[in-house]
Amino acid sequence: MLRLGRREFDPHEPVIMAIVNRTPDSFYDQGATFRDEPALARVEQAVAEGAAIIDIGGVKAGPGEEVTAEEEARRTVGFVAEVRRRFPDVVISVDTWRAEVGEAVCEAGADLLNDAWGGVDPRLAEVAARHGVGLVCTHAGGAEPRTRPHRVTYDDVMADILRVTVGLAERAVALGVPRESVLIDPGHDFGKNTRHSLEATRRLGEMVETGWPVLVSLSNKDFVGETLDRPVKERVIGTLATTAVSAWLGAQVYRVHEVAETRQVLDMVASIAGHRPPAVARRGLA
């Protein structure tokens, strides 16, 4: 059972985490949800379309203008508090690698810390433990935050993913993070080239077999774009195909931009797998 905030999710229940970027320079929407009003509208729409988790980020993942911890907190803390006030049952996640930001957002009502840079600040897990919130343990190949991979090599990329993510998860639990609130993430694109991310997807079942719930962040990423030779705005089909494969292999949480489309893909895969009945079943029965 995965427990995050007030919510509990069965092992076979696919969960959507909707992305809300509080940045002026997001790679995907170029700052569409930087201001409060459109960001809150995005939260409302995502919840209506089936998102159980809202993932709030205050710093663009890629290189760009420096964002201090103080500025990151300014972009996220008040917004977390307002989302908590308006949507008391939604799971609030914050995408940060900084312990001081994690501390502030937990005090404002966050339920989950999404550490996309693989424990670069080991104090973040301590913050999660202190507040009793969840933690996403990600493989980033040892990369520094906001850097792009350059000629990265692995003897076995999945072996490295398992070593790092399981190690981070076990450390988090040892520190006091609730075991049922820890997830592992292969970190597509982070510290990886396109072939690494494709292999991580192909072998995702190995992560599922560890028993830790698996989160995947696939949405419109570069490995999808390079595989199909498509720009950012033309990667939805490739993203959804990768989502379907990941769902079939057992991933549980999906960090996405397109909530409604992802919901249909996950429901269809769950029904094929026998975990969800058809919404309507009239054919051949009338």
Residues catalogued as catalytic: 221, 255
Residues in a beta bridge with 251: none
Give CA–CA dist 50/89, Å, rounded: 13
Instruction: Answer for the pair 200, 157: CB distance below 8 angstroms, yes or no.
Output: yes
Q: How far apart, in Å, are the Cα atoms of 220 and each of 19, 59, 79, 142, 238?
A: 12, 18, 25, 23, 8
CA-based radius of gyration for the chain: 18
Beta-strand ranges (E) seen in the chain are 2-4, 7-9, 15-21, 53-57, 91-95, 112-115, 134-138, 182-185, 215-217, 253-256
- Which two tokens mark 92? 């609030």
